[in-house]
Amino acid sequence: MTDAYDPGLRRLALALAPKELRARPGVYVGVGGPSYETPAECRLLRRLGADAVGMSTVSEASAARHLGLRVLGLSLITNSAPGDDED
């Protein structure tokens, strides 16, 4: 699926986000889990363009789009990937 998230909702969310949240668009990669990614997997996903990785969101966004709903995904990054020394 391409363009899972509604462009208008994305623009609105970015415009309304308080500056101290450092909100920005990014690429969310959904993985099956149930375990966390290894450092090697995190490096690979980063090289492939991932900004955030998680075990949810993708199935919910897909189901909502198939129902014809407008979808917006928001992620709060709470921890860095293993071996990730970026802020």
Are the C-beta atoms of 50 and 27 separated by less than 8 Å? yes
Active site residues: 37
The C-alpha angle with vertex 87 and arms to 71 and 58, in degrees rounded to 5, equals: 25
Q: How many CB atoms lie within 10 A of CB 81?
A: 20
Per-residue pLDDT of the chain (87 residues; tens, 9 = 90+): 778 999 999 999 999 999 998 899 999 999 988 988 999 999 999 999 999 999 989 999 999 999 999 999 999 888 887 766 654
- Tell me, what's the pLDDT at 28? 92
- Tell me, what's the pLDDT at 73? 93
pTM: 0.79
